[in-house]
Each structure stands twice: as C-alpha cells, then as structure tokens.
C-alpha cells in the first residue's frame, strides 16, 4: 500500500502558532493573520514570496476565500482542506507534495479553527442530510468505548484503569504548564483528574482535550533551498494518511483496543522514513490525545509499546518529558487545546521548536526525529495521519 514518499525532498523554513485558547476577542481572521505572519517572519519572507496556500479548517469556513480575503492574497491558488482532526496535517501533506513536484518553490500550509463562538459543549460537526438513522453519540462517548475493552482484555480493574488514564492527562498538563502558548497552563493533581465530573463513563471531563480556538502555519520549500531561508530548517521524512473502511462498526472481530488506521498510517510513514524501531529511533512524538484512552491505545498502535503493555509504560513514566520517549511535550490536545484544523500544524510547531532548541523549560536533549499523529472520526472508522520530521537531512 505504501507510496515511495518524499523523504528529505522538502523542508520547513518558517513556522507560526498562536496561543491556543478561548479567544473571545479574536476572530478566525485575526488568528489566521497572526499565524501566517508569524510563519512568514520566522522564514524571513513576505507574502509575495509565497506562491500557493493549503488552508485547513474543519468547519470554521468553506473554500479558499476564507483565507485569501483576510490575508489579501493576490489571486493565488488556495486549496481548502478538510479531513476531520487530520485537517491541518493533510493541508501540510498536500503542500509538501506540491513543492516536491516542482510546481512551486515556496508554499504555505495553514490551519485554523474557531470553536468557541458556537456556544456548544465539545466539538460539533453537523452531518449532511440523511435518513435519520445515524446514532447521535458524542465524541467522548465514542472514544470511551476503548477504555473498558482495554481494561478487560489486559486485566486492569476499573480503578487501576482509571488511574492509568488519569496519569496520561496528568503528564500532558504537567508538560502544558511549561508552555506559554498552551490553553491550560496548570499542573492538575491526579486526585482532581480522577474525580472530575463524568462526561461519558468512565471518562470524566479531565479525560477530554481542551476545546480551543487557534491557528498555526508553516512555510515549505525544497530541501536544497532550505538554507537560503533558515539556519536550522526541519526536513520531512514521511507523510501518511489512512482512512478506514468502518470495519469495526460492522464486524465482530474488532475489539476496541486498537485503532487500525493508526497502525497502517504509521507503518507506511516508518517505511518512507526508514524507521524500523520506532521506540528507539523516534526522539519525540506529538499524538492525538483527544481523550485519555486514545493516547493509551496510540502508544501500542504506533509500536512505542508492546500490545497490552502501554499502560505499564505510562505508569513507568516512559512517555514523560524526562522519559525514554517523550510524548506530547507541548501539552498535547489535552493541555494545548484542540482547534481541529490547526492541531496538526501545532504538533509540527513543537517539533520545529524542539529541533531548534527553542522549547524553553520543556526543551528535550538533542531530539533528532519527531512524529506527529492525528486521528479524526471514531475508533472504528477514522482518518489517521502520521508525519515524521527530522532535524537533519539524509
């Protein structure tokens, strides 16, 4: 299934990411302008240098003009991308391919989402007109199905299982507390996470990621041109997206302890990037911790943990900031916030900072290879993106 990939053919030479959060005083336009100009400034280029745009938003707007009007883009190509929670990463992926193809020298990938204007709790995606048979479960309810299935399969009693999940939220808040751009900048005690009000049993509100407004952007050029713009560019090693068949909703052999799309997308990206032992080779990962059990299952699906051992790795601190393989050093969706279309680019932004030694108090020691992962939809039918970036070329 795997494509050849574009390892080391393109590089990021500039990035921008606004602080995520409840931006009562910023519009979608404000956020896009700020992220775009931060990225331009970081690359030392002007809007005139950017030849085409890939703009990701899940449902904050439609069509390329949502971006071109506020940015006053002068009649250039803007492609609007939507792929649920993989929206930002897919905008980036397509922008990379456009540069790798030789069609453009410099492009921008930008993702933005305005969620806090709706007045709704949690994420809301209005489905197209249908026959009225679609079950109306919320996102936390859909992902909560992973928890009891995992606990049962691997012999965790519900109390221990809940503790494992809380440990994941605790870790992400601890990391986010060190991040000035995160939505929530506070450590949260385990006790508080364990006792948070129920949203979808066994998940409490503290098992859910933050609903936030935000925007992030990247400037992409051919790898051989990268040093014209940046002393420390970062290189694209692997790009993969997997969309599943909905198998798990219809077939009894799916047991709700894995997300198959993550397994497929990551194996494809590993092949492109030449990764054979992800736990050893990957220095850091930004994964889609929409809900705590999602992150638990992701460890195993990405091959970071052996099947059934992810929870032990959690409790042993393997994925902590000072652990063997730090996951979500920027705080993750949990603490950084999850404006859908921006999240994938926000994850790349953390790799960008970490590789360049600009991550401040949460700086990792000389990371070389970073992985970003998004998952949109439900555990049994989703789109999953995996992107691998490196500090060095070749």
Partner 1 sequence: MVGIVSFGAYVPFNRMDRKRIGEATGDPTAPGEKAVANYDEDSVSMAVEASMDCLTGLSASDVRNLYFASTTAPYREKQSVSTIAAALDIPMEARAMDFTGSLRAGSGALLAGFDAVKAGAGPVLVACSDCRLGAPQSQWEQIFGDGAAAFLLGEDGIIASLEGSKSSVAEIYSQWTPDKGDHVMSWEERFYITQGYNRFVGGTVKALLEEKGLAPGDIAKIVLYGPNPRYQMALAQSMGFSIAQIQDTLFLTVGLSGASNVPMMLAAALEEAKPGDYILAATFGEGCDALLFRATDALGSLPPRRGISGFLKSGKNTMRYNTYLKWRQLLVTEPPRRPDPTRPSAPAMFRERRKKYAFYGSRCLACGTPQFPPQRICVHCQAKDNMEEYSFVKKPAVVATYTVDYLTFSQDPPAVFAVVDFEGGGRMICEMTDCDISKIDIGMEVEMSFRRLFEAGGISNYFWKARPKR
Smallest CA-to-CA distance from 384 within 90, 55, 2, 127 is with 90
Choose, by CB under 8 A, the member of 4, 75, 119, 231 that binds partner 1. Answer: 119
Choose, by CB under 8 A, the member of 41, 69, 137, 307 that binds partner 1. Answer: 137
What residues from 24 to 83 belong to the interface with partner 1 (CB under 8 A)? none
The binding track of 228-267 with respect to partner 1, each residue x by CB under 8 A or -, is -----------------xxx-xxxx-x-x-----------
Residue 122 binds to partner 1 (criterion: CB under 8 A): yes
> CB neighbours of 393 closer than 8 A, spacing ≥ 6?
8, 11, 223, 226, 235
Query: Which residue, 62 or 137, has its beta carbon nearer to partner 1?
Result: 137
Query: Which residue, 74 or 133, has its beta carbon nearer to partner 1?
Result: 133
Residue 154 binds to partner 1 (criterion: CB under 8 A): no
Please identify which of the residues 17, 58, 85, 384 carries the catalytic annotation.
85
Q: Is 264 a catalytic residue?
A: no
Q: Is 338 a catalytic residue?
A: yes
Own/partner pairs, 121-124, CB within 8 angstroms, 24+ separation: 121/211, 122/208, 122/211, 123/211, 123/338, 123/340
| Cα–Cα separations (whole angstroms), residue 336 to 123, 132, 229, 342, 386 | 16, 35, 28, 11, 19
Q: Which stretch binds partner 1 (CB under 8 A): 60-68, 103-111, 176-184, 198-206?
A: 198-206
Residue 121 binds to partner 1 (criterion: CB under 8 A): yes
Give the DSSP letter of residue 308: T
Q: Is 128 exposed, middle or buried (0-12, 13-18, 19+ CB in 10 A)?
A: exposed
Choose, by CB under 8 A, the member of 25, 74, 75, 133 that binds partner 1. Answer: 133
Q: Which helix (H) or strand (E) holds 16?
A: strand 10-17
Query: Which residue, 74 or 126, has its beta carbon nearer to partner 1?
Result: 126
Residue 126 binds to partner 1 (criterion: CB under 8 A): yes
Distance CA 141, CA 58 (A): 20
Residue 394 binds to partner 1 (criterion: CB under 8 A): no
CB of 73: closest distance to partner 1 in angstroms?
Answer: 32
Please identify which of the residues 58, 338, 384, 387 carries the catalytic annotation.
338
The residue behind tokens 């809940």 is 162
CB count in 10 Å sphere of residue 372: 27
Q: Residues 93-114, buried b or exposed e (16+ Cβ, 10 A)?
A: bbbbbbbbeeebebbbbbbbbb
For partner 1, the binding residues (CB under 8 A) are: 119-122, 124, 126, 129-133, 135-138, 140-142, 144-145, 148-149, 152, 198-201, 245-247, 249-252, 254, 256, 380
Residues taking part in catalysis: 85, 338
């Amino acid at each position: 299934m795997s494509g050849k990939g574009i390892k080391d053919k393109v590089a990021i030479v500039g990035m921008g990411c606004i602080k995520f959060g409840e931006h009562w005083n910023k519009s979608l336009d404000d956020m896009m302008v700020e992220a775009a100009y931060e990225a331009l400034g970081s690359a030392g280029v002007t809007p005139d240098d950017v030849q085409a745009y890939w703009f990701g938003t899940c449902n904050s707007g439609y069509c390329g003009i949502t971006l071109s009007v506020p940015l006053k883009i002068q009649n250039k190509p803007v492609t609007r991308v939507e792929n649920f929670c993989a929206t930002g990463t897919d905008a980036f992926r397509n922008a990379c391919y456009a540069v790798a193809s030789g069609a453009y020298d410099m492009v921008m990938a930008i993702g933005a989402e305005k969620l806090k204007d709706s007045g709704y709790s949690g994420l809301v995606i209005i489905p197209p007109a249908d026959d009225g048979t679609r079950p109306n479960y919320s996102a936390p309810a859909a992902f909560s199905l992973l928890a009891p299935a995992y606990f049962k399969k691997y012999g965790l009693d519900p109390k221990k299982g809940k503790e494992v999940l809380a440990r994941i939220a605790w870790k992400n808040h601890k990391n986010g507390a060190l991040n000035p751009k995160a939505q929530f900048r506070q450590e949260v005690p385990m006790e508080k996470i364990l006792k948070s009000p129920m949203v979808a049993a066994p998940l409490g509100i503290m098992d859910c990621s933050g609903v936030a407004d935000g925007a992030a952007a990247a400037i992409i050029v051919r790898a051989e041109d990268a040093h014209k713009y940046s002393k420390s560019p970062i290189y694209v090693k692997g790009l993969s997206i997997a969309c599943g068949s909905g198998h798990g909703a219809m077939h009894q052999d799916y047991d709700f302890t894995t997300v198959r799309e993550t397994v497929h997308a990551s194996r494809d990206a590993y092949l492109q990037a030449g990764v054979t032992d992800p736990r050893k080779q990957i220095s850091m990962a930004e994964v889609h911790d929409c809900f705590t059990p999602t992150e638990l299952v992701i460890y195993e699906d990405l091959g970071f943990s052996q099947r059934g051992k992810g929870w032990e790795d959690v409790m042993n601190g393997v994925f902590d900031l000072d652990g063997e393989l730090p996951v979500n050093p920027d705080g993750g969706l949990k603490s950084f916030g999850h404006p859908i279309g921006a999240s994938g680019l926000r994850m790349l932004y953390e790799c960008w900072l970490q590789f360049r030694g600009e991550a401040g108090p949460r700086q990792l020691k000389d990371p070389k290879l970073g992985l970003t992962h998004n998952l949109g939809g439900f555990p049994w039918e989703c789109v999953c993106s995996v992107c691998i970036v490196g500090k060095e070329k070749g």
